[in-house]
Amino acid sequence: DTGVSQDPRHKITKRGQNVTFRCDPISEHNRLYWYRQTLGQGPEFLTYFQNEAQLEKSRLLSDRFSAERPKGSFSTLEIQRTEQGDSAMYLCASSPHTGGKGGTEAFFGQGTRLTVV
């Protein structure tokens, strides 16, 4: 499968624990996004990378959340001291650079479903 892959697919953790998710984008895509989706809602933007640079972080993201993309390839999203409200599907997406021609399709991964108990 040459699409966006995420690992793990499911994660159950106890409140207060730290969790880390991984996203491998499509190899030639330089843009990488993290979104959070709760039941019955659309994906909410969390953060965005262009290559290894994190260019924007949503105000929704508390200090407990951190994301990295150290070599401009895969990315990790870490949540520290998890809370029950963090339970959601975490989606990663990637898209190619369009050379200033505007937006283009973002390809989504299958997501990591986090349950905090």
Partner 1 sequence: GENVEQHPSTLSVQEGDSAVIKCTYSDSASNYFPWYKQELGKRPQLIIDIRSNVGEKKDQRIAVTLNKTAKHFSLHITETQPEDSAVYFCAASTGTYKYIFGTGTRLKVLA
Which spans of this chain sit near partner 1 (rule: CB under 8 A)? 31, 33, 35, 40-45, 48, 50, 55-56, 91, 98, 101-111
Query: 34 to each of 14, 25, 45, 101, 117, how far by Cα in Å?
Result: 22, 11, 6, 22, 23
In this structure, are strands 112-116 and 10-13 parallel, antiparallel, or unpaired? parallel
The least distance separating partner 1 from the CB of residue 59, rounded to whole angstroms, comes to 9
Q: Closer to partner 1 by CB, 59 or 71: give it.
A: 59
The least distance separating partner 1 from the CB of residue 5, rounded to whole angstroms, comes to 11
Query: Would you give the DSSP letter of residue 78?
Result: E
Q: Closer to partner 1 by CB, 9 or 81: give it.
A: 9
